Amino acid sequence: MLKDQVVRVVGAMSGTSLDGVDAAEIMTDGREVLEFGESAFRPYTEAQGAVLRGALGKWPEDDVTQAAELVETVHAQVLSGFRDAELVGFHGQTFAHDPKGRGTHQAGDGAVLAAVLNKPVVWDFRSADVQMGGEGAPLAPFYHFALAKKMKADAPIAILNLGGVGNLTWIDPRLPLPESEGALLAFDTGPANAPINDVMQSRFARPFDQDGALAAAGTVDHSVIETFMKHPFFYRMPPKSLDRDAFVGLSTAVAELADEDAVATLTMACAVSVAQGAKACPSTPERILVTGGGRRNPTLMKMLASVCDVPVAAIEDAGFDGDMLEAQAFAYLAVRVAKGLPTSAPATTGVGAAIGGGTISRPG
């Protein structure tokens, strides 16, 4: 692709909350976000969700064929609706993430999608970063930097994504490039929706705590929170990343609590881990803008506001779509990969130098 060419690109994201596939189109030259296009969401059925949950924690050498084919099929269904897109960014489904050990595993073959969609597909975004000593996550920060520029922010802000896992990006938009020293700091904060969703699924066969209603009715067990905050992860300096199931002990700790108290405690665990993470920012952000499914949980948002020292608001306050931000991010990163631009840097993943990841598969 020409260096300065503006590309109509669609990105797709299936997060660790396992609710479905988001797809979103943007116009970008890989630096600026020029225009937002159409978006779509395809939820997983209950049976499909069960297949994906059964593959969590598994690696490519394990038998994940059924789950991987499911990921490819559902993504193809969603992405086939974006006929005008010139390029596709395909994240795949994370089943396991152990950057300092076995690596990272996102299921789904971009070459299959390229053949089905008859478009070039950029995929396998994380492997190169991990191979170069990085955490491989989070990867949205370069897109967050572009959004801070688009909103003409003139002081540091933070974007918090609350999916299955929470991750925070501190941004200084006064610097010219996302890879500039001091422009970004990004890291996973701790568990977010994943343990809440798991409890809702196991106890009620419901995918999440609708409107935070159960958490609002419960009482937080502060002894569980105190033990939770002693986890070694919180003593590591960022950048750092998590596997979805890194805090299985937290779910065990609430197993004997009443339903509403268990969910309230898990919700507060998310909030206090964010507040702890925010202390690592190079300077206090002007505000924290929240994206991902967690921002739709009023109880979680109230808890965040109560424990954080800065204003907290949904990212819609800045004019962006918090449901589609991650999908948009992988659209943006796909163009950067196609143009040979970096997609991660030492301050976002801990990689040794700013590098670009991703594999490009072309039809035929």
- What per-residue confidence (pLDDT) applies to 350? 95
Percent of the chain with pLDDT over 70: 99
Q: Which pLDDT band holds residue 164 (cuts at 50, 70, 90)?
A: confident
Answer yes or no: same fold for 7-137+324-361 and 152-318: yes
Q: Which string of DSSP letters, residue by residue, matches 268-289?
A: HHHHHHHHHHHTTSSS--S-EE
Q: Measure the CA–CA gap between 34 and 143, rounded to whole angstroms.
A: 12
Nearest to 287 by CA among 173, 188, 123, 206: 173
Which helix or strand (DSSP H or E) is residue 196 part of? helix 193-204
Tokens at 338, concatenated: 């196609």
The pLDDT of residue 2 is 54
In a 10 Å sphere around its CB, with 0-12 CB exposed, 13-18 middle and 19+ buried, how is residue 107 labelled? buried
> pTM (2 decimals)?
0.94
| pLDDT score of 352 | 94
Domain 7-137+324-361, CATH 3.30.420.40 — does that match? yes
Find the largest Cα–Cα distance for the chain: 59
Average pLDDT on 258-269 reads: 98
**Residue 87 backbone dihedrals phi, psi, to 5 degrees:** -150, 150
Mean pLDDT (the chain, rounded): 95
pLDDT in the model for residue 364? 82
Determine the pLDDT at residue 15: 85
Domain limits of the chain?
7-137+324-361, 152-318
pLDDT exceeding 90 applies to what percent of the chain? 91
Say how many C-beta atoms besides its own lie within 10 A of residue 364's C-beta. Answer: 5
Residue 244 above 80 pLDDT? no
Q: What would the mean pLDDT of 86-113 be, rounded to a whole number?
A: 94
CATH fold of 152-318: Nucleotidyltransferase; domain 5 (3.30.420)
CB 142 within 8 A of CB 343: yes
Could you read off the pLDDT of 299-345 as tens digits, one per residue? 999 999 999 999 999 999 999 999 999 999 999 999 999 999 999 99
Residue listed under structure tokens 């109880």: 299
> What average pLDDT does the segment 1-29 reach?
89
Residue 152 — left, alpha, or beta (φ > 0 → left; ψ -120 to 50 → alpha)? Answer: left
Q: Are 150 and 33 in contact (CB under 8 A)?
A: yes
- Residues pairing with 89 in the sheet: 11, 122
Taking phi over 0 as left and psi of -120 to 50 as alpha, with beta for the rest, 190 belongs to left
